[in-house]
Structure 1
Amino acid sequence: MAKTANSNPDEMSFLDHLEELRWHLIRSVVAVVIVACVAFMMKGFIFDTIIFGPKKMDFPTYQFFCKIGNIFGIDSEFCGDSLPFTIQSRKMAGQFSAHIWTSIWAGFIIAFPYVLWELWKFISPGLHANERKHSRGFILVASSLFFLGVLFGYYVVAPLSINFLGTYQVSKEVFNEIDIDSFIATVRTSVIACGIMFELPIIIYFLTKVGLVTPEILKKHRKIALVIILILAAVITPPEIYSQVLVAIPVLILYQVSIYISKIVLKREAKKEKANAK
């Protein structure tokens, strides 16, 4: 774990570790708040361009599926002029509250690499020099996977969910007038959930390092993992087969990559044990 100026990790007490962790958390929170303040001042861009982007039919995802439908001669619902629902705020402080919380979540997403860096500064002193060397690209890889998941959630999961749920009607008598909190929650859940799911290779790496996971275990339980992935895909997407498949495919690919990563970790551990035995 992290160390102070006058001691090494072996000499630090539990309270010393808690104090170190507290300061890393404080710096992380400060970074998120600073970025959130910037996002707060960029209200027009954050809401009109980012948050409400998937509500507009000129959104890239809708344009893509519309072109695919035209190629195959299919009348696509993605080719409409607008989505048949409105967004409303039914609380006095509804819009102000949405502005604040959206800014905070934007701050967390954008500051994610720095938060990871603070986490790495806390745990890296407790690793051996060889382990730190092999984990040198941790922040870059983890951040890249997270942002890749965020983009996937924003450009695939969120628009498919909004298009399906926003146009769904049980009766012509019922109009979809969606509360702003509900709309933002749909976008936020899609983005954050996919960002976290795309961290699967990193999670498997550390689980393998501590001996909780092996490639054999991952292969043996591949079918169970497939079921879990499909359930997760069903939770964060609308109840349509094609959207669930679109989400499940990249996660399955990441699962296979995780098996390969687990093999590499075990090979390195075996080499290290042989070197120590000599």
Structure 2
Amino acid sequence: MTRVIAGPADLHAHSAVSDGTQSPRELVEEAARAGLGALALTDHDSVAGWEEASDAARETELTLIPGMEFSTRYGHRSVHLLAYLIDPANRSLVDETARIRESRLTRAERIVENLAADFDITWADVREQARDGATVGRPHIADALVARGIVADRTAAFDSILHPSRGYVFPHYAPDPLTAVALVRAAGGVPVLAHPATAGRSRMLTEGYIRELVDAGLFGLEIDHRENTAEGKRMLRLYAERYGLVATGSSDYHGAGKPNVLGENTTDPAVVRRIIAEADGWSPVGA
């Protein structure tokens, strides 16, 4: 039976399980009020919000696509992979994401130690900004800096104190993108590169490496995203056509944490159906 997606789909959104500001239930309810036909919950390296979001989705006309934003690293670059409809109990994936989250936590603690030498901020301040069980990271440090009156908002924090050039922050552990694509596929999921052109063609993954990712199982590219440059989008559309990849559009919504608005970029329901048909790790919820 072909699943009916009754409205536009937003395939990239975060809850307070990672660095969003709303609970999974609140996020789903807001998406339903916004008139979306489908929403993907893609918290960083975590599926902890799936159950709550699924319960909420069953009370609406919304189709929930449970997913995750998988942290990877290519050289010095942070590369994110959207992983849709994975088996959340897949042991290899569970172990790898646990390792990433532990590295995030250790890094966050060390960043706060670095900051405390120059600013009035403590680890307790940061913990106050995170929901119990959330993956603590730089956004929560940014929120703590805001709460302390040191910066005006998250954007100001990332543009100033938490910018890598200031020397307080450093990378956390993450696997390479090829490994991540293979893990997602082995868990029955569908991998799509998240916002891969935020700094234009000069900072994009090379076409040769994208071709390697396709060979490993990459299914799509997130093209319509507010941070992808115009030139980058043009190149991504060329790659999507050349290698038979789906093109998605998303808000990368974080609630009050970012200016992004639910549904500001969306994905064609036909593409959502292709993603669903490709997956065998988990099923959509609702509708």
Larger RCO, structures 1/2 (Cα 8 Å, 6+ apart)? 2
TM-score by length of 2: 0.26
TM-score by length of 1: 0.26
Determine which structure has the larger strand proportion and give its number.
2
